[in-house]
Amino acid sequence: MIGINGFGRIGKNILRQTDLVSEINQPNCSLEEIFYMIKFDTLLGTFNEVELIGDELFVRGHKINVYFERNLQNIPWTCQIVIDCSGQFRTLETLEKHFNGKVQNVILSAPPKDQMPTIINGFNLWKNEPIISAGSCTTNCLIPLLDVFDKNFGIKTCHFLTVHAVTNSQSVIDHRHQKDKRLGRDAHANIIPTSTGASGMVDVFFPHLTGKIRGNSVRVPVENGSFLEVYLEVEKDLEREEVIDLLKNHEVIKISPHPLVSSDIKTKNEICLIDLDLIKIYDKKRINLGVWYNNEGGYVHQLLEIVRKKS
């Protein structure tokens, strides 16, 4: 069974996508607020398989234990796996506090801030590591794609731009932001340049490409559904049909024959959906790809695939 620490966008998507959740920890909250957050969601719609009976919460008929602890060591987990979605604990040292004799594994639903192993579905497998990171949504989109081209064509250089939906790190109206002045500007009225951690993760997974891959990011005023534009220069000649065959046979990468926009992806669980007519090859050595990904549900689907494959 799974426990969720931090019941935000990712935690809510996990609960909706799997029956394995048995516990939730969310400090500074009440049981009634947890019930409300589960039942109502502007993006995901109303969820009718939740009940609050007295002081007990039930989802799909199964009781969910709910805790409100700020100190990880005080959470009375009874589950085997904890998925930490709080965004506050991103090192091995802090996440180790979830272990209480019953918890066997911890998964971080964000990029780590130390040398924590990162597992990306469709690229590497979770083996015996007690604590892992599932990376970021952008990383889960980008890494399998780069792997295909590096193995089959040899990557010389790469530049990518992620056009990302708004997140809770931004402000609804102009407000002070401690780390990034731009992220303090009105999220729903601006295109906002910001950084992406995906560039650093690429160096971890493809050390031989260090210094050859760089990325940029902008946040745009959509509630979900992000876009990745990838430009690659490769060593071997590119043939369109070969490229398409390699991509469509990948377990994570999908190809759409239809021209898509962001609203087409926001309710799907895709993490790497390539627009067929946005595959452009130049001089047989350069290629541009337009790739859609659901930065919430698609990411959670990959995270749960990691859990499923380990089991």
Catalytic residues, which ones?
137
Residue with tokens 């087409």: 264
CA distances from 150 to 140, 143, 180, 205, 297 (A): 16, 10, 33, 11, 27
Q: For 201, which DSSP code?
A: H
Neighbour count for residue 16 (Cβ, 10 Å): 18
CA distance 223 to 98: 32
**How far does Cα 118 stand from its chain's mean position?**
12
CA distance 79 to 18: 14
CA distances from 122 to 71, 108, 144, 146 (A): 34, 18, 6, 11
| Start-to-end C-alpha separation, the chain | 11
CA distance 290 to 275: 6
CA distance 295 to 227: 9
Q: For 278, which DSSP code?
A: G
- With H, G, I as helix, E, B as strand and everything else as coil, classify residue 286: strand
**E strand residue ranges, 205-279:** 213-220, 226-234, 254-256, 273-275
126 and 309 Cβ atoms separated by less than 8 Å:
yes
